[in-house]
Amino acid sequence: MTTRQLTVENLQLNVSICGQGRPLLLLNGLGGLIRTFDPLREELGDYMTITLDVPGVGESQMPRWPMRLPRHADVIAEMLKQLGIDHIDVFGVSWGGALAQEVALRHPNMVRRLILAATSAGPVVLVKPADILEFFGKSKSTKPYRQAGTRNSIPALLRFGAVKGMLSLNPRTYYYQLAALVGWTSLLRLFRLSQRTLILAGDRDTLIHVYNAHILRRSIRRAELQIMKGEGHFFVFTSAKRTAQLLREFLSQPDDGLRK
């Protein structure tokens, strides 16, 4: 696994590349760090997996002002060009699933297949500012949260991700990424996607409820849906082997040549 610093549109990006097979771009969720994908990448050793800390996350440069999602997509496309990749499969989870949709819509010739996990077509605010304040206000507490209903609350999910080393601990990161989603939706544009698309959703996801996956399935012409039984929002991390198996089965299916 190699990590590189690339300058893309005047932003320093921390990019990680692993493996030698067919290229697969992995786009992380809200506040997600590169290491979040480590378990999945270990299961996908026969692919060249590419991931990054998006601008404002981890070791990538914090923009002066929040970037809207279309600019994030353009930065991703330029990054791939710098890496010499002009055709790639794209996997996005949660916030990264929204970004994956935007990349495929704005740069359709670059995307061979699309995988959307635990995500939505919007408009949706994945996490409210009040949830961020509660998360950072209580993140230093060592007391377990045993009150009824807190285990699957958004702050509790954020704490789980932070404890596992999956999420940034910089509040500004979350505000910038939330700002990128304000007013965003792909719903009226999804019919334009010509790529074969796999949609993954956990039936116990309390952050992005499973009905969002059904909306995506109905809106994308060449989509198929897999419900992850017994899984919550972080199934890409907690069930990496199962997720990788579904990805491999989908990506290894022969192309049918349809792109219109």
Residue pair 117/85 in contact by the 8 Å Cβ criterion: no
Name the amino acid, one letter, at 21. Answer: G
pLDDT tens column, 128-181: 666 666 666 654 443 433 333 445 566 777 777 777 778 888 989 999 999 999
- The residue whose two tokens read 């994956």 is 100
pLDDT score for 258? 59
Helices 95-106 and 69-82 pack at an angle, to 10 degrees, of: 70
pLDDT tens column, 10-59: 999 999 999 999 999 999 999 999 999 999 999 999 999 999 999 999 99
Where does the pLDDT of residue 126 fall: very low under 50, low under 70, confident under 90, or very high at 90 and above? low
pLDDT score for 41? 97
Nearest alpha carbon to residue 193 among 128, 259, 244:
259
- The domains of the chain, with CATH numbers, are 2-251 (3.40.50.1820)
pTM to 2 decimals? 0.89
pLDDT score for 153? 65
User: Which are the contacts of 96, defined by CB distance < 8 A and separation ≥ 6?
Assistant: 26, 27, 28, 29, 32, 54, 119
DSSP H helices in the chain: 38-43, 69-82, 95-106, 129-138, 154-163, 171-181, 211-219, 235-238, 240-251
How is residue 100 written in tokens? 């994956």
Peptide bond connecting 123 to the previous residue in cis, omega within 30 degrees of 0: yes
| Alpha-carbon gap, residue 102 to 106, rounded angstroms | 6
Coil, helix or strand at residue 7: strand
Confirm whether 219 is a catalytic residue.
no
Other CB atoms within 10 Å distance of the CB of residue 129: 12
Choosing from 16, 60, 94, 120, which is the catalytic residue?
Answer: 94
pLDDT score for 140? 46
Backbone angles phi, psi at 246, to 5 degrees: -65, -40
